[in-house]
Structure 1
Amino acid sequence: MTTTERLIASADAYGAHNYHPLPVVVATADGAWMTDVEGRRFLDLLAGYSALNFGHCNRRLIDAARAQLERVTLTSRAFHHDRFADFCAQLAQLCGMEMVLPMNTGAEAVETAVKTARKWGYRVKGVPDGRARIVVASDNFHGRTTTLISFSTDAEARTDFGPFTPGFDIVPYGDLAALRATVTEETVAVLLEPIQGEAGVRVPPPGYLAGVREVTRERNVLFVADEIQSGLGRTGRTFACEHEGVVPDVYVLGKALGGGVVPVSAVVSSREVLGVFRPGEHGSTFGGNPLACAVALEVIAMLRSGEYQRRATELGDHLHRELGLLTSTGHVTAVRGRGLWAGVDIAPEYGTGREISERLMDRGVLVKDTHGVTVRIAPPLVISKEDLDWGLAQLRAVLGVD
């Protein structure tokens, strides 16, 4: 039995089977490359679902984390620490907002946004107690807590996990008329992904986000943008909403905010919105801890340079041109996405998304399938054009494209 086989067998024996990972066991990683326990190298075209926008073991982020590890890592929010104020101020400035509520995981941040919207609805908008409603989109993915799956349309995410949390209205993604018709006086927020990642990197129709912004302003409703996957450089802008010149009322951030080093998430908004909280009403032992703040501060500094947004734009244009050629061959039925982010629908006769992912793994490329036919491509933003081209050549090879 190889080391890989032994470790996978042990994981299967002792780990809950809530994931179906590809049969590779990663031991080290650097930049856009990972090396397994057998010494085989793999090009990472998933980047931890955008958590690794800046690559594996990015030296600036590792150095920031190491320096903080020698000082203080956790105080809880019972006390102030010397990295918190700068983190909040700089993240608020990056977002063009006024206040930050830090958490750890993306799901925690979305839960926090839900609580924020409801409390704002009762305290500011004047919705009767217990009547607040939030409009969401079909095929969404905001996390896997009980509340968040309550408004999922994915049967796999919901089966056997009820009863579910009430207070949500689901409309088709991209359908502005349906959204407008669903908003009532009791609606406190519209919660959307500017680009739906788990659904297969679905980009809404042009003008949709701007239309949502218009409706929410007209009806005194918060526009909450879940930019956990789409934000922080992935699409070629700091935030995906910027592609339509839209600024939401609330940003929900995570994944890349922690640089792939530590879990960091946050809700960022105005003083009017986040100011509804009082001490004791919401919190997290680890949220906004010194180590998280130190790493996130370096992430913010890197984003301010604009380098990563430019790389995502330039390499993203190249990625989409190359993938677009596959649709003309019939091997691929559709390509969606923006920046260094793409959902590629494989023609059924060439294999399922899982099968294509496994064949790519055999050729040294790691991607992830979703919804049966789709392969997601989201490399670290630090990937070189040469490595990206090599990865695309492997995709052409497994599809049998000449």
Structure 2
Amino acid sequence: MAAAALFEPLKLGSLVLKNRVIMSAMTRNRAIPTNVPNDFMTEYYRQRAGAGLIISEGTLWSTVPGLWNTTQVEAWKKITSAVHAEGGFIFAQLWHLGRTAHPDLPEHKASGKPVYGPSAIAAAGGKFRQLPGEPGYVTPIAIDDPMKIVAEFKHAAINAKAAGFDGVEVHGAMGYIIHQFLDNSANKRTDKWGGSPENRARFPLEVLKALIEVVGADKVGIKLAPCGGPNDMGMPLEDTLATYKYFVTEVNKLGIAYILFLRYYAMIDPAGRGTEHDVLDTYKPLIKAPTLVFGNGGFQPPEAATAVAEGKMDAAVFGLPFIANPDLPKRIRTGKELNLQFDFPSLYNHSGDEESVKKGFVDYPVAVYD
């Protein structure tokens, strides 16, 4: 059948994935009233454990589940156990906002730290729905020693391991801290952490090395968005190619589990900052085993299956389709139509009561199978 390539088992480090239909990290803002995972989230991930691999939502932000204290670790254990009981695997996405944080967010106030970035350059725009007046981005403080943030990533990986995750993914896309260091529009440093592609790649490489120390190279992945776009990111094509070809080559030397490429698509580039190019064709030839290549960004199952069959990527990462189709892999495998009736207002918003938290989260139906 047309989708057969998506259902070949895939060896990911020491894991053998049952299929190549990967669930993307997606912020859902359901960790209420605090940043502790709850029973709704346990059900949400359990429902979707048919994925070859689940990548958790990023572990930061208001009403997003954290990984910085023991209470959160214990709550995540329920989720990882539920996924494992269904025969699935789950990686924790580690997310640092960098300059896209806001000093008035409760979590940021509690940290006792300022908003950091590679340089004192604010991103354009921004809209913090959680704060009165919906303020925009602030000018960050240039971090004096980026190794301080490397230590925070390492601490999160230690907690992820304790919580029972099968591995960790570094969020290196969408204009957050890793992306900021790589992009010369956000990183104007003149020390060893800025300037050349080699220097701008130093921080994310140090993060990866720290995580490898904790969980092992075969349990580390990274998500990249070379095309830029979101959160005021984007370099000219010449700079983009020089930066990412160098970085991807160096990452490959570490032997990590996978590199996930978010390809260009207009929905996430409303300001037109992106530099469109074919990320799979451009960077996959630089990547050798054991590191796998995942593709993400608006793939529909037929296109994804063709790309896997042709060797353009090893697995397909789906975001929105997994929200309205908790049984997405089975629907694809059996040829069932996908549910396209998304409740878009409920992606991030809820009033805090039980019914509104469930709405558009754990109440999407599975298909009827013979």
TM-score surpassing 0.5? Answer: no
Which structure has more RCO (C-alpha within 8 Å, separation ≥ 6)? 1
**Higher gyration radius (CA):** 1
TM norm structure 2: 0.31
Query: Which structure is higher in strand share?
Result: 1
TM norm structure 1: 0.29
